[in-house]
Amino acid sequence: MTAAEPLWHPSPNFGPRRDGLRPELIVLHYTAMESAEAALARLCDPQFEVSAHYLITAQGRLLQLVAEDMRAWHAGAGEWAGRGDINSRSIGIELDNRGTHPFSEPQMHRLEALLPQIMQRWDIPPEGVIGHSDMAPGRKWDPGPRFDWARLSRVGLARAAAAVPVATGGRCDHFRQLAAARGFTADVDDATLLQAVRLRYRPWGTGALCAADLQVLAE
């Protein structure tokens, strides 16, 4: 086995994709557990009914739990770009991280190697690489404020935040329109939506809606 190939560790928690759907998204998660071993045990325990297609440890070890053409149980309730049943539309990748510390270099390096392979196999564009918090705002926070989305965007593996000025005035309706155009269509209130957008594009952002929050969503 080469270093680039995943170690197969099958989970019983999966099923067929519904309604003929195929992967069009890649959803990134953090495990929020004390160790990769604990996360792996949870993802493979039928009692918990949760899984993902891949798990990447902090040391950069890649494990595959579910075949890509099958439906893993990682996303739960949520919506992206007006579409539900994200489990049937996505590949789920769990990253061994508690959400309170930076993601390791070996882990990010392995993720950067894995993403292009999945994207090529399923013709998924950079805009289709999202976080769990993107499609389930208010319910989920991962991969969290410590995840380096800018790093992925610089190498074409995620949508980059726009850097062009927009005429706003800080209006919430304009913000919702821009957010929906970028895929944030879950039915949540303005504060929760702002929180989700900031987790993705401006994790350092605080306070009320401002022009910078709209700017990152512009074309």
C-alpha span between 25 and 159 (Å, rounded): 12
What is the predicted pLDDT for the residue at 219?
77
Concatenate the DSSP letters of all residues of 50-106 into one string: ---SEEE-TT--EEE-S-TTEEES-S-S--BTTB--HHHHEEEEEE---SSSPPPHH
What is the predicted pLDDT for the residue at 68?
98
Give me the residue label for tokens 């992967």: 23
- Burial (CB count within 10 angstroms: exposed 0-12, middle 13-18, buried 19+), residue 113: middle
Could you tell me the residue ranges of all domains in the chain? 7-154, 172-215
Structural class in CATH, domain 7-154? alpha beta
Q: Which of 24, 94, 105, 127 is catalytic?
A: 94
Name which of 157, 164, 168 is nearest 110 in CA terms: 157
What is the predicted pLDDT for the residue at 5?
85
Strands ordered across the beta sheet of 129-131: 7-8, 62-64, 54-56, 90-95, 25-30, 129-131
C-alpha span between 26 and 92 (Å, rounded): 6
Q: Catalytic residue at 34?
A: no
**pLDDT (tens place) for every residue of the chain, 219 residues total:** 344 689 999 999 999 999 999 999 999 999 999 999 999 999 999 999 999 999 999 999 999 999 999 999 999 999 999 999 999 999 999 999 999 999 999 999 999 999 999 999 999 999 999 999 999 999 999 999 999 999 999 999 999 998 766 555 557 788 999 999 999 999 999 999 999 999 999 999 999 999 899 999 987
